[in-house]
Amino acid sequence: MSESNLDKLIPTKHGWHVGFNKQFDGRWKPFGRPRARQLVEYVPLFMRYLRVWYRLKRAKRRAHMDFLNPVPLQQIYGAPIGGLGCGTIGRGFRGEFCRYQLVPGLYEFQVVEANTFTVCVRRRNMTTYCQVLTPHRLRKKGFRSWNAAFPAENGRYQALYPQSWTTYDLPGQNIRLLCKQLSPVIPHNYKDSSFPVASFLWYIENLNDEPVEVSLMFTWQAGSASQEFVCRDISHQTINASQDDITAVGVTIQQVLREMNLEYCIMGKKEIDNTITTRTNFNVDSDTAGRDIWTDLTEDGRLTEPNTTIRSAGLHSASCVCITATIAPKSIKTSEFALAWHMPRIKFGLGQKLYSKWYTKFFEKEELTGSTLCIYTMQHRTTWEEDIAKWQQPILNDQSLPDWYKSAIFNESYFIADGGTVWLDVSDDHTLPEHIRKWGRFGYLEGHEYRMLNTYDVHFYASFALIQLWPELELSIQYDFTNTITYEKLESRVYLYHGRASHWKTLHSVPHDLGDPDEEPWLLINAYISHDTADWKDLGLKYLLQVYRDYIYTKNTAFLNHVWPTIKHVTDRIKTQDVDGDGLIDNGGFADQTYDAWTVVGASAYCGGLHVAALRACVEMARIMGDTNAVNEYEAWLTQAKKSYSEKLWNGKYYNYDSSASRHHDSIMSDQLAGFWYLRLSGHKYEDFEKERVESALNTIFNTNVMTFGGGKLGAVNGMTSSGQLEIVSMQSEEIWTGVTYGLSSTMIMENFKTQAFLTSEGIYNTCYNVAGLAFQTPEALMRDCRFRSVGYMRALCIWSIQKALALSRLEQENGQQANLDDSQ
């Protein structure tokens, strides 16, 4: 083969690299059940859960946390496609279209075989090669005659979200293909980032001494990925569209999915020297129909619409678009496709309200079609590439950063779009704050398996992504939570852990979440029913800290003015949770915080540290607001809380897990510095947490929870005993939480433990992406015995706290150097 120039068209060496023939560690499995000694505690809860699960099953609805049917591990995923809040479609690194999230917040994890690319090569008017570009054999009847099973050793994949590059070496053809996939996920762009589109730009390299004709066919099936949701009124049609200097030809598939209009549109960009042909509405379950398509393509490298009466279309119908071009010897030519999935208006599971998606506000809504979005994609693809490069290049060019981190920071960002995300145009709802009406209502799931929007205790970690990349959306979430503080719902329901009835939403409490998309989010909040989270000790503290951090980052005084009255409500409620009057919040003897299966009693390292930090945040916000009485109140409270935190929990090396008399009270918790971490990343230093103690705790955590536990190859385990053994008092104490490890690493960076920080967090990335096959589905938790829990989880977005720590630590270093220079003059 002649020397290839195709790889030079990939603009970066960075990202996740994997071959089609990659084999991951097959031992990794979803978490099954706790240890026998842990199980006793959960039996009553599980029996109550079973009653709820069966009730939902009879109603043909999914449980919002399905512990009986965890999502099976599929070691297939690559970068997904689609913008924020518009619905997403997963892509496998071998080319599969998989993991559909078109019905808002609900995932279908099946692979759709029909949705694929095929290449046909012709020389001297003869077809010499025709191949479906997937290494899998196709099982549907309609594809039995199609030549599938592309040689896995001939395919390579590279992902740097929101882009990916797939190379195919066509065996025996002296031809190479490169598919560049792009979605318009662009920080600080509140328009194009919301579009339900993807661009597929194919580079075709002819290394022969003669011209070749190459056809690329894109096939797409009606419906979604499964038959769970009713799909009706399906129709296929060929379309032509033009705008300015762009002309495109393609197909549109109209349907109604779960009573919401959905249009798929595939278009090929017309060039002077290419030909675009289509074939609509063939049955993928018909051997005859499938063979007819294959014969049609291989006959002349083009598709022909049959001259027959249009048949009614069903769920098993599909259409194709084919771009044919001649490639001169020793040259490269492009063929460009755009895909759109246009679902302009949505309703959630209970159907109480109809919403317009955010992207529709930028067009004449009644005239907006899939072809409009495809043409827009072709017009703006180059601009999107430039904008993505401007975002990513400073990090990619930073030689002080390890290569794995340059992949992780962007690839973990997939969840902002592919987290069951919804972004709604609520500009006409004048009951909402102006900010939400202006920037939209935004929500994303706790996880693909934990179906609750904007779960606040987890968003506390994940929000470092939004506040840096789309800060107006972070503020929109905050405004929504602020509105809930003075809301109460006195209707009672039984909570599963204790089996006791309590209110749905308690006045002045911070809710756990803003609802289940299979019910009616924002109208029915607090979907979580394991605990009555009004009794949780971390939610109010996290609200105070997030409000403060978001103000520090944005300097948005209107936001702080709006939120300030609720600060008093929340702090007054926190006072009631200090049962012994020592100024420090007390955990209630159950798992009353984000570690919702790990019991904690009295003063605790985690909630106590959050409390101290939150009081500092209140002092600073009161000063900004000019509220002298509040300053005095919070300062006195802070002084008392710091004293109690130190006296009750500091043991000379680290903060004890809690102040109880249990034999687990001195466990080493990896997340014990969470409060300090938030203050530190908000510009504070050691006003409330002594530097020597922070360094001692970090050393203890690194040496014990990272190195002793897993040799630095698995991240930081949540709990270790004081004697250096794995803490197995709870299933969560023996888990490694991916997002918590990223947050711990950012704390280490701020305290000049940079080598330890990157070693710690590299264990998470390497395990997920290169060992366990969990790329683009980073779970909440890993375990040492090759188990994981809750794939596709929000908290891993906390990796963006590492980027913030890098920026702040450099700024502190520069300021320190300048101060030294000034002192020397």
Helix (H, G, I), strand (E, B) or coil at 255: strand
Residue 36 banded pLDDT, cuts 50, 70, 90: confident
3-state secondary structure of 814: helix
pLDDT tier, 819 (very low <50, low <70, confident <90, very high otherwise) = low
Sign of CA dihedral 128, 132, 137, 143: negative
Band the pLDDT of 822: cuts 50, 70, 90. Answer: low
Q: How many angstroms from the chain centroid is the CA of residue 499?
A: 33
Q: Among 3.40.50, 3.40.1130, 2.40.50, 2.70.98, name the CATH number for the domain at 92-387.
A: 2.70.98
Q: Which residues pair with 200 in a beta bridge?
A: 181, 337
pLDDT > 80? residue 823: no
> 732 near 717, Cβ under 8 Å?
no
Q: In the chain, which residues fall in CATH 1.50.10.10?
A: 405-491+535-824
Distance CA 664, CA 658 (A): 8
pLDDT tops 90 at residue 38 = no
CA–CA gap between residue 738 and residue 782 (Å, rounded): 7
Instruction: Give the integer Cα–Cα distance in Å for 425 and 758.
Output: 40
Confidence of residue 308 (pLDDT cuts 50, 70, 90): low
Over range 587-601, report the average pLDDT. Answer: 96
What count of other Cβ atoms lies within 10 Å of the Cβ of residue 573? 18
Confidence of residue 61 (pLDDT cuts 50, 70, 90): confident
pLDDT tier for residue 62 given thresholds of 50, 70 and 90: confident
Q: Mean pLDDT throughout 55-59?
A: 88
Q: What is the pTM of this model?
A: 0.97
Q: Which listed CATH number (2.60.40.10, 1.50.10.10, 3.60.20.10, 3.30.479.30) goes with 405-491+535-824?
A: 1.50.10.10
Question: pLDDT value at position 824?
Answer: 63
Cα angle for residues 550, 553, 556 (degrees, 5° grid): 70
Distance CA 712, CA 703 (A): 9
pLDDT tens sequence across 365-378: 899 999 999 999 99
Spatial distance between the Cα atoms of 742 and 671, rounded to a whole number of angstroms: 11
Q: Report, in this order, helix, strand and coil percent for the chain, each rounded to 5.
A: 35, 25, 40
Is 815's pLDDT higher than 90?
A: no
Torsion of CA 812, 813, 818, 822, to 10 degrees: 90
Nearest Cα residue to 688 out of 747, 632, 635: 635
Question: For all residues of the chain together, what is the average pLDDT?
Answer: 96
Specify the pLDDT at position 452.
98
What pLDDT score was predicted for residue 736? 98
pLDDT value for 59: 87
pLDDT computed for residue 825 by the predictor: 62
Residue spans in the chain of domains classed CATH 2.70.98: 92-387
Burial 516-530 (b: 16+ CB within 10 A, else e): bbbbbbbebbbbbbb
Encode pLDDT of 209-251 as tens digits: 999 999 999 999 999 999 899 999 999 999 999 999 999 999 9
